[in-house]
Amino acid sequence: MAIRSIRLLGDPVLRTVADPVTSFDAALRGLVTDLLDTLRGVPGRAGVAAPQIGVGARVFAYEAGGERGHVVNPTIELSGDPRVDEEGCLSVPELSFPTPRASHATVRGFDQHGEPVTVAGSGFLARALQHETDHLDGRLYLDALLGETRRQALRAVRTAPWAAAAPR
C-alpha cells in the first residue's frame, strides 16, 4: 500500500487512547499493510503503531528480536526485573534516553484476519512490545523517564530541530 508519514510529538493523536478494532475487514488489512510498509521504510525502527501514522486504532507492527509481525487489540503482561536501556521513538526523532522497561513481555491479540496471536519475548523484543502497546494507550517512552533523565529529555525535546514544526 504505502509508507505513511510519522506523526511527531505534539500531535494529539499520539496522546489519545486508540479505539479497539471491531471489523476485521479490507480496511484493517490495508492499515496493517501500511504499518508494515512504513516499518520497512523508516530507519532505526523496531515498531510502528497506528496512532503514529494518524490512525486511532489499536494496531501495531513490529520487527525486533528476529521476529516480525503485527497485533490487533493487544493486551500485555509484563514480568521480570526492570532493565534500563536506550530507547528512542519515531515520533520523537533523533533522541534516545535510558528508559526502564520490564525484561519480559507477552502480548496477546489478533492478526488482521481475527485469528488469535501471542508474541512473547525478552530484551529488545520485550522493549518493542511495551513501547508499541504504550502508543495505543496514548503514552510515549518519555512518560516512563524519571528524575534527571526526564528533565534532560524534556529540554532536548524543546530544542530539537523538528519541535518547531510539530503541532502543539
The answer to whether residue 132 is catalytic is: yes
Catalytic residue among 63, 77, 87, 132: 132
CA atoms of 34 and 121, how far apart (whole Å): 24
Name the grid cell of 38. 512504513
Separation CA 22–CA 24 (nearest Å) = 7
- Using CB atoms within 10 A of its CB, is residue 93 exposed (0-12), middle (13-18) or buried (19+)? middle
Is the Cβ–Cβ distance between 53 and 38 less than 8 Å?
Answer: yes
Q: Which residues are catalytic?
A: 132
